[in-house]
């Protein structure tokens, strides 16, 4: 939904001037990003997207994209350079699943792995074992799902900050960079 200059002025300016107007419009349309278009006196156009509070807190302001953070030092390390290609791809997929606040409780289930193209159970287990041996990941806990005979490992990326999770007795932890100690 794009608002033109006249619609913006008509809706917002009589009641709420300035930034409060944009906040009020965003409050009326919770969950839907709004694009506000205004013309400046010099003839240029200003386009501003106003999103809901949740999107601002999670760092995804109107964009569903998520990026995988892989430090340059890690990519140049001997531990990374000697990984198999499948394991490198697996590591990138794991990093893409980390949103910044879920490190230590990343659930990389079979369904998630298959969505990234890892259809073989043998490949998944070899990649996880190799990543743990090289110090890129650590397993923090095992969680049971709806089926009592199956469990899911919670994974921590060693180059990210891990926050405390009282539900699973996981303490807060600074990045350990265990991959740097591998020889």
pLDDT digits over 35-75, tens only? 556 666 776 666 655 555 555 555 555 556 667 889 999 99
State the pTM of this model: 0.64
d(CA 107, CA 125): 14
Per-residue pLDDT band at 151 (split at 50, 70, 90): confident
Asked if the structure places residue 156 within a domain, the reply is yes
User: Could you give the number of structural domains in the chain?
Assistant: 2
Asked whether the predicted pLDDT for residue 76 surpasses 70, the reply is: yes
Helices (H) and strands (E) in the chain, counts: 8, 6
Residue 4 has pLDDT above 80, yes or no: no
**Which segments of 72-133 are extended strands (E)?**
106-107
Judge if 89 and 173 occupy the same domain.
yes
Distance separating alpha carbons of residues 83 and 93, to the nearest angstrom? 15
Euclidean distance between CA atoms 97 and 91, whole angstroms: 10
Whether 77 and 11 share a structural domain: no
- Residue 153: C-alpha distances to residues 14, 24, 102, 119, 156 (Å): 55, 43, 13, 18, 10
Are 82 and 125 within one domain?
yes
**Residue percentage of the chain with pLDDT more than 90:** 37
State the residue range of the domain holding 118: 72-181
Residue 99 in tokens: 């949103």
Residue with tokens 């709420």: 16
155 pLDDT tier (thresholds 50, 70, 90): very high
β-bridge partners, 153:
142
Q: Are residues 86 and 164 in the same domain?
A: yes
Query: Which long-range CB contacts under 8 A does 139-142 form with residues at least 24 apart?
Result: 140/104, 140/105, 140/168, 140/170, 141/105, 141/168, 141/169, 141/170
pLDDT tens digits along 7-34: 433 333 344 345 444 444 444 444 455 5
> How high is the pLDDT of residue 100?
80
- The H-or-E segment that residue 35 falls in is strand 34-39
Rounded CA-CA distance 123/7 in Å is 56
* pLDDT value, residue 55: 55
């Amino acid at each position: 939904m794009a608002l033109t200059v006249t619609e913006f002025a008509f809706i917002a300016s009589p009641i709420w001037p300035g930034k409060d107007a944009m906040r009020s419009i965003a409050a009326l349309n919770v969950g839907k990003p709004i694009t506000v278009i205004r013309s400046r006196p010099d003839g240029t156009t200003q386009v501003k997207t106003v999103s809901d509070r949740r999107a601002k807190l999670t760092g995804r302001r109107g964009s569903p994209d998520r990026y995988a953070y892989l430090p340059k030092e890690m990519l140049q390390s001997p531990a990374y350079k000697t990984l198999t290609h499948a394991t490198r791809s697996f590591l990138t997929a794991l990093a893409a699943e980390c949103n910044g606040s879920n490190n230590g409780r990343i659930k990389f289930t079979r369904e998630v792995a298959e969505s990234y193209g890892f259809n073989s159970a043998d490949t998944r287990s070899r990649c996880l074992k190799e990543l743990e041996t090289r110090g890129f990941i650590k397993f923090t806990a095992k969680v049971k799902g709806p089926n009592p005979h199956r469990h899911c490992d919670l994974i921590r990326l060693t180059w990210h900050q891990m926050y405390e999770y009282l539900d699973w007795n996981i303490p807060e932890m600074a990045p350990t960079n265990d991959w740097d100690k591998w020889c």
